[in-house]
Amino acid sequence: MTSESNAPTPAAHELELRRVSVVAGGGTGPTLLSEVSAQFRRGELCALIGPSGSGKTTLIRTIAGMHEPEDGEIFWEGRDLEEEDLPPSSIGYVPQFTISNENLTAAENVRLALRLRVAGLDRERLSERTAELLELTGLASAAGTMAKHLSGGQRRRLALAMELCSGPELLLCDEVTSGLDPQSEKEMVALLRRIAREGNRVVLVVTHGLGDLAAYDKVAVLSGGHLAYCGPTDAVGHYFRADTPEEIFERLPQREGADWHASWQKHGASFENVAAPGGGEEKAEAPAEKKASGVEGAATPAAFHQLLVLLGIRWKIFLRNRSGIAMQLGLIFGFPLVVAVFAANGLPAVPSLDADLSGDVVRQMVEARTFTEGASQAGSMVSGLVLLQVILLGLMGANNSAREIAGERWIFEKERFAGLSPAAYVGSKVVFLSVLVVLQSAWMTWFVRAVTGFPGDASQQFLFYLMVNAALTSVCLGISALSATADQASLASVYLVGFQLPLSGAVLALPVGLDAALRPFIAAYWSWSGALQSLRETRYYDVLELVLPTDLSASPLCLWVLALHGLAGIFAALLGCLRASWDR
């Protein structure tokens, strides 16, 4: 951003924008904001209004640091935010869509936000602070209600309560009153006014609700990405020669945004410094709520603490989801049954050749044919059972993690904005999913061996089944983090597992060049190959060479490749979580 002036912002204005411009597409798209200059004081409740597409959401996201300005400067208490970012505890952002965990109560959502955002709170203070925030936002009576059962107005209050956890000095709200009935909207505006006053905060609110505009201290009007007005609410009607707030929107299309901006630059000085009605007395109130919070300048908890908090919450949500538990039990116990069905009567015995057939050519031919057929049946059965277990465990892996991040992307983005470590978030997912992977793989191994009498080294088989489940769970977690939606992630994960069977080379051999190119990426091959190595001390391994279309790889190599698959998936998940996705 270029500098118009290096002088510090005036003390009277804690937040100042100087000729801020934002261009879409990293500077290659259309201009979203053009040379916006505005000032905001502590204790003010400020409305951002304008037609749809005028740049309101872009403006508050730019202030929040979600968009990089193409030009201009943003100052907070004299500090250039290009050079010095605000700490997560200093800024709160309430998006236009309510973000909370649907399967937690109102109190649990607030408590979770406190545990992730504020370090050093003991159990007693945590409970006290939770109760204070619920009381402040009018949710005390709904503390034990699941978020999914809250009304629209209560959800907006919950979002505010969560944002107030760390005592932010700057609160940015995007259409928190939209969709509310008139009474709820009036109550929400009154609450925001109280939050601004008692917390001595700068509170900026994007709103389309003009009925309560008089309750705001200041209003900024945007038109086509240009600032058309930014001053006291009681003067906005006079400036636009409008008798009602609704008439302002009728006036705006009569001139281009650039013309309104030029007019404001010429005449704005006589409006913008006028005090808001009654503002001096109200803003002199003691910041009671902020002092009571005990979190002013709160430090963000360490990543390991955040990981433990997230892990505990993930298990709580999992155990509350009866349909999810039923699905997991169905997969854990049902998939091994599918395998066992194909060998319910046990594995076919490996035939032997009669050594005393000298001179009898016919008997030799018959015996050879019988041996070949029996060996082929035994080898194919063993190879097929191993491959079936590998593919089913791959499907379990896709089910484990395909929606794990994509399904709660907005929750993560919100907490990341508030200071959540992406590494802690991904780490909590890895630990949680690891438990599922171990249970699924252990039961598959034990059950199939118990029912079918499957031979070979049980520990080696379990290891390779575990590794393929872990590898595909990890890769699908990466897909989940990189996908725009949960449905997209699920579809991509199912396709990934679906291609494991035909591309593994376990059923039909692939052309040499294609086989060499694809094999490193096919987890099913490496698990299948490694698990079959567990049969080396049995007669089944001798006949496998007669039926296998693809050569087997050494067990250590199989383990290393599967481990690399798992690490690549975790890296992709971390990479996806490091990339902001508000606009996906």
Query: 481 and 338 in one domain?
Result: yes
Higher pLDDT, 380 or 358: 380
150 plus 260 within the same structural domain: yes
- Whether residue 175 lies inside any domain: the answer is yes
Q: DSSP for 181-234?
A: -HHHHHHHHHHHHHHHHHTT-EEEEE----TTGGGSSEEEEEETTEEEEEEEHH
Question: Do 408 and 325 belong together in one domain?
Answer: yes
Q: Edge-to-edge strand order for the sheet containing 170-174?
A: 91-94, 170-174, 202-206, 45-49, 218-223, 226-232
Q: Does 278 share its domain with 421? A: no
d(CA 534, CA 539): 12
* The one-letter amino acid at 270: S
Q: Which two tokens stand for residue 83?
A: 């050079």
Is residue 439 assigned to a domain? yes
29 lies in some domain: no
Both 322 and 462 in one domain: the answer is: yes
pLDDT in tens, 317-371: 999 999 999 999 999 999 999 998 888 777 777 666 555 555 555 555 655 565 5
| Residue 537 near residue 512, CB atoms below 8 Å | no
Question: Are 485 and 504 in a shared domain?
Answer: yes
- Report whether pLDDT(82) > 80: no
Residue 307 and residue 284 share a domain: no
Parent domain of 419:
303-343+382-578
Asked if residue 498 and residue 393 are part of one domain, the reply reads yes
Burial label for 361, CB within 10 Å (0-12, 13-18, 19+), is exposed
Q: Do 399 and 279 share a structural domain? A: no
Residue 170 lies in a domain: yes
How high does pLDDT run on average in the chain? 86
How do residues 212-269 score in pLDDT, each as one tens digit? Answer: 888 999 999 999 999 999 999 989 888 888 888 888 888 889 989 899 999 998 887 7
Give the separation between CA 163 and CA 91, rounded to whole angstroms.
8
In a domain, 448, yes or no: yes
Q: For the chain, give the longest Cα–Cα distance.
A: 119
Taking only the tens place, the pLDDT of each residue in 353-368 is 555 555 555 555 655 5
Same-domain check for residues 93 and 240: yes
296-305: per-residue pLDDT in tens? 556 899 999 9
The number of distinct structural domains making up the chain is 2
19 contacts 73 by C-beta, under 8 angstroms: yes
Instruction: Decide if 35 contacts 19 (C-beta within 8 A).
Output: yes
Q: Is residue 352 part of a domain?
A: no
pLDDT in tens, 67-79: 888 899 999 888 8
Q: What Cα–Cα distance (Å) separates residue 548 from each residue in 33, 271, 503?
A: 64, 84, 14
Report which DSSP code applies to 504: S
In a domain? residue 356: no
pLDDT at residue 362 in the model: 54
pLDDT recorded at residue 297: 54
Answer whether residue 282 shows pLDDT above 70. Answer: no
The answer on 565 and 502 residing in a single domain is: yes
257 and 228 Cβ atoms separated by less than 8 Å: yes
How many other C-beta atoms can be found within 10 angstroms of the C-beta atom of residue 569?
A: 26
Q: 407 and 470, same structural domain?
A: yes
Backbone torsions φ then ψ of 165, nearest 5 degrees: -55, -45
> Domain of 211: which CATH number?
3.40.50.300
Point out the domain boundary residue: 254, 274, 293: 293
Predicted TM-score of the model (pTM): 0.88
In a domain, 69, yes or no: no
Whether the Cβ atoms of residue 479 and residue 402 lie closer than 8 Å to each other: yes
